[in-house]
Amino acid sequence: MTDRSRPVPSARLARLAAFGQIAGGVATGVLGEGVRRLARGERPQLPDLLLTPAYARRVAGQLSRLRGAAMKLGQMLSMDAGDLLPPELTAILAQLRDQAHVMPPRQLDTALVQAWGPDWRRRFARFEARPLAAASIGQVHRAVLPSGQELAVKVQYPGVAASIDADIDNVATLLRLSGLLPPGLDIAPHLAEAKRQLREEADYLREARQMLRYAALLEGDSRFAVPRPVDDLLHPAVLPMTFQAGAPVETLAQAPAEQRDAALGALIDLVLRELFDFGLMQTDPNFANYRWQAQTGRIVLLDFGAVRPVAPETAASWRALLRAGLSGDAARVREALGSADLISAAQDRRHGAAIEAMIGLVLARLEDSRGGVFDFADRSVAAHLRDRAAPLLADRDSWHLPPAEMLFAQRKISGTALLCARLGARVPILDILARHA
């Protein structure tokens, strides 16, 4: 078995040095790729040299060692880019979701001593040193209390909370130096919002409160299971919770079609309830945040650090877009996209035909499912959308960032759609959407 334990660099200088290694490695890789392309008679542009598997592999490896906010941003890219990046790049970046490094035992022990004192092991009948899972901000261990109760204990990586601001600033600097972002694109407000959200995710006391809120909101809903925090062991950097058995949500791909489609339909319904009923949304759709209980048919919901309120105006914008889509009126959808600031006036003016074509593709696909099911496994429309979007992506002067509130919701929506596509869900999507219109 491969040893994935690596100390988390917690000192500011150590993390800065790691970013320097990323930049140096990227520069070397870009130079080599540029020479190769010139030898073939090509005239490569810098963004083209950066969007290569070699570059993605180098960055993914470094970010997985850093963990924290840097790795979190890489995870977001791997999901948010969806069908826009070449498949080989998406696959490499997906390693940030699935293959995080873990803390060595000594570093883990130091973290738990800081939380519970030197005799922390006496609190448990058993504490498994090998983690069940490892992510960007912490890793999860299985434990048993003297009473026999099983727990899942999430332990935060040392130094992660204190490094959030610097990590995001360093990633932003790398993006600017890379030329991947247009010089005129103002990302400062979104960087500030990302820092705020990640600081909240690193506060395990806050996450425990959000976990309890979701448990209350979903009380009596047999489709979902939510763990509960264990108060007397709770610490800002350690989150003990009741253990919920379950398999990776990806195992639903092998489940009977009826079970698979019911579970994924429930997740779609949950997103809409978050948006329009709860006024509260867990905005991180990482697949590892869901588990599947084959015996009960329930989806286990995990990781409530990214829970944030949904502003009434944000919900209203999404509801207007939903109703426009259900109406089948392309002009109305285009207007709703503009009103929600999901497309800019410049994009609408310069690429109106491409935008209309993309809207038409989506509406036609929805119309085809009327009275039946929507087959998420059919990715042909995604390929056509990527082709139609090419002029917008190439026109870097018209690039536009919607408001952060819209982007957080969009991330959850697109991530859920991606999960449905990966698992081949076939659901009565129009019926589900109509219930919330």
Q: Among all residues, which ones are annotated catalytic?
A: 284
Phi-psi region of 117 (alpha: psi -120 to 50; beta: other; left: phi over 0): left
**Residue 214 CA from chain centroid, whole number:** 19
CA atoms within 13 A on the CB side of 5: 11
415's tokens: 């991530």
- Reported as type and span, the H/E element at residue 168 is helix 160-178
Orientation of helix 188-201 relative to helix 68-80, angle to 10°: 110
Residues 56, 54: Cα–Cα separation, whole Å:
6
- Reported as type and span, the H/E element at residue 239 is strand 238-242
258's tokens: 């009826």
Angle, vertex CA 202, rays to CA 103 and CA 69, nearest 5: 70
Residues 115, 94: Cα–Cα separation, whole Å:
32
Do 207 and 201 contact (CB within 8 A), yes or no? Answer: yes
Do 276 and 261 contact (CB within 8 A), yes or no? Answer: no
Residues 86, 52: Cα–Cα separation, whole Å:
9
115's tokens: 């939380």
Orientation of helix 312-327 relative to helix 330-339, angle to 10°: 170
Residues 117, 110: Cα–Cα separation, whole Å:
9
Show the DSSP H helices in 179-230 as ranges: 188-201, 204-217
